[in-house]
Amino acid sequence: MPAPRILILGATGGLGRALHRHLAAGYELASWGRADLDFEQPDTFSTKLASQKFDVLLNAAGMTSPDVCEVQPERAFLANTVAPQILAECCHARGARMIHFSTDYVFSGKTRDLWFETDETVPVNIYGRTKLAGEKAVLKASPAALVARVSWLFGPDKPSHPDNIIQRALQTDDLSAVADKISVPTSNADISGWIEQLIIRHPTTRGVLHLCNSGVASWHSWAEAALTIAARLDVPVKTTTVQPIELASLTQLKAPRPLMTVMSNARLQSVLGGEIRNWYDALEEYLVQKYQPQ
């Protein structure tokens, strides 16, 4: 069987760039950003996609800022619901497989238990509601599609929470981070490896699948872990201690956030046939590569 031809959407984002870097050497690959496919012009999708040969479409595009979505709900609906639906319709019509990335924000966050793919979804903000509607639209338009939910992404292509906290710690020892919001930090590099396996070894896997590392963290514990690793790597941070605060104290946020969205990766482990490493190990590998490149 020839290697599948892959089209990545959202090529300028952190996940899109990681996917491109991981897959570029082994596959016929095209990566499109918004300049190539604008979610605010969904009527152009069919024609533009018809000009590109692909067997698998990875949709990492979307409007991902909860606060921007909250104040621009119409654009969020176009990006996160309408666009994915049309993409899925195009994929279904041409017999291509679609892997669509979604979010832990489809959950209410009102339980202390792990969230499974089969659990009830009750989003608390516009971002989560438009992403959930997008999930449903994709699976209805293309029953063979895979919806991959991810959480708290980090990697070298776009600064995330650990990068930002380390940068702040280079300047000050007065740091704080939310301690009552809990999820699973997840490596873009790990996601890219899982996606390759899902494309090549598990081409019939469909429905909803949680793609996240193992373990649990708050923004606070994630921050302290990053600083501890950085200090061990001789990064001149001024502290490894972060003051815990409550999410409710961040009154500048426009969108409500779910508090507890730790997703189970049991189905992912079952599909891939192996254990998924802890987020701390993935974070340590990332920071070693960043601060002690070989």
Hey, which residues are catalytic here?
127
CB-based contact 268:193 (threshold 8 Å): no
Residues in Cβ contact with 282 at an 8 Å cutoff, skipping those fewer than 6 apart: 185, 186, 187, 189, 190, 213
Q: Give the C-alpha separation, 287 to 294, whole Å.
A: 12
Which residue from 246, 232, 244, 238 is spatially nearest to 283, judged by alpha carbons?
Answer: 232
3-state secondary structure 191-224: HHHHHHHHHHCCCCCCEEEECCCECCEEHHHHHH
Q: How far apart are CA 182 and CA 39, in angstroms?
A: 31
CA pair distance 83, 75, nearest whole angstrom? 10
